[in-house]
Amino acid sequence: MVYLVLLQKDLRQFDNPALYHAVRRQKQVIVVYVMEKRLGLTSKWWLCRSLQTFFEELDPFWIPVLYLDNSDKISELLEYLSKYIEIERIHSNGLDFELPDDYDEIHDSFQPNLIFKPEDMIKEYKIFTPFWKSIRANCSPVKPLPIPEYSRKNYVDLEFDEYIDLPKMDDSDRWNQMDQYWKIGEKAAQERFESFVKTKLSDYDHGRDFFCEDGTSKLSPHLRFGEISARQIYERLNTKSTERFCSELGWREFAYHVNRYHPDMTKIPLNPKYRDFWPEFNDDHLEAWKTGNTGFPVIDAAMRDISTTGWMHNRLRMLVASFLVKNLLIPWQLGEEWFYEHLVDADPAINPFSWQWVAGCGTDSVPYFRIFNPMLQGEKFDSKGIYVRKWLPEFADFPLKQNIHQYIIKQPQLCPKNYPKPIIDFKSSRERTLSTFKNIVAPKVIQLKKPRLV
């Protein structure tokens, strides 16, 4: 009689409820990783490496680890396993697919990698602050579980010949380059957390906005793949002096809360006013945004950063998203898709939630009239142009004393020869957006061209 642990994300041993409770019952255990329904290419790169590490870590305990590349094939997998074993129970930490009906009764679904149990919040909140206050006041997070104590009873002495090949990425320069930027897996996540607590946490409230510095934790891909437990972080840092950091974790909880009530939010604006709206847009502008050739240094530096490292600082995510939606008037769904393919931490709840937030069509959103100015933001958070110079080689000879963010307006003649001129006039694009958004009154507004959604 075997306990089957079905995992999606949750590639850790510490505080992994599905794994812990299976091992603790002293039953034979088989772990199966099931590919998520929505996974971007760059996050798949992360997953491949993370899975490899996780499986190697389980190897000494003789727990077979299998891989299912598509959850639609779950019945085939269960049928295959039943040739060899009898499944007593199935454990998961939540799944993005349904198990066949006959397995419902033996399925225990534990808490996903969130601080609070999503089902403890019985009413829908649309605004972050009351949500965060209420959940903290009324619910208590469960204490993180230790690493399971494996015993001989957990061993399964069987060699499988199917479902054993792990996913692989094609060899490419991009993936080789990404290896330089990241250490992946549970051990790396714990080390990053410790190092953040020791060296950056005390200055987080101030440092978190300066994208030219490395002031945030960069834990997002580790949290995305469950290499570290959100409850572990919260238990350690839930104090008055680290309130700001905890509230960022709170935004993560909120995105999942909203997604629970709006599973279609990847494509559909949460605010119905924006549902049928999107004017015609310029394909060349979209291409310039994707490739980092808009002529706005901070936007282009950020876009080249994400294409190289698979990550972008939160403030820059807000700036490039605002620029796409509110200056280029391009549907947010196209930016969301592009981010999803290029981020190591591309998250099915947080990414669409954040895009809707910036686009002004989410629940607790930036109002439509708040449009980030990339030149002023660059001046404020990268005053010496360190970040821009790092990502835009075109600025290698740009005079150190000149303002690398504001030259567009004040000294356009300083534009480096091999760098594009701005693709739009910032001021008039802003005015166009303000008048367009102001005039959206009812769900039905002229729809000249539909966003190309996949």
Q: Which residues bind ligand FAD (CB under 6 A)?
A: 208, 216-220, 223-224, 248-249, 251-252, 255, 313-314, 317-318, 321, 339, 343, 345-347, 350-351, 354-355, 358
Cβ neighbours of residue 337 closer than 8 Å, sequence gap 6 or more? 453, 454
**C-beta of 93 vs 154, nearer to ligand FAD:** 93
CB of residue 440 vs ligand FAD: minimum separation in angstroms? 21
CB of residue 197 vs ligand FAD: minimum separation in angstroms? 11
**C-beta of 4 vs 343, nearer to ligand FAD:** 343
Task: Give the Å distances, CA to CA, from 404 to 68, 243, 247, 324, 407.
Answer: 50, 34, 33, 21, 6
Write the single-letter amino acid at 243: E
Number of neighbours of residue 385 by Cβ within 10 angstroms: 22
- Identify the CA nearest to 135 among candidates 152, 118, 148: 118
**C-beta of 190 vs 314, nearer to ligand FAD:** 314
CB of residue 226 vs ligand FAD: minimum separation in angstroms? 11
Q: How is the beta sheet containing 2-7 ordered, strand by strand?
A: 65-68, 28-34, 2-7, 87-92, 107-109
Beta bridge partners of 4: 30, 90
**C-beta of 218 vs 389, nearer to ligand FAD:** 218
CB of residue 357 vs ligand FAD: minimum separation in angstroms? 7
C-alpha to C-alpha distance for 308 and 342, rounded to whole angstroms = 9
C-alpha to C-alpha distance for 260 and 79, rounded to whole angstroms = 31
What token pair was written down for 355? 């895009």
- Asked whether 295 and 423 are in contact (CB, 8 A), the reply is yes
- Asked whether 252 and 350 are in contact (CB, 8 A), the reply is yes
CB of residue 441 vs ligand FAD: minimum separation in angstroms? 26
**C-beta of 338 vs 398, nearer to ligand FAD:** 338
**C-beta of 339 vs 398, nearer to ligand FAD:** 339
CB of residue 121 vs ligand FAD: minimum separation in angstroms? 16
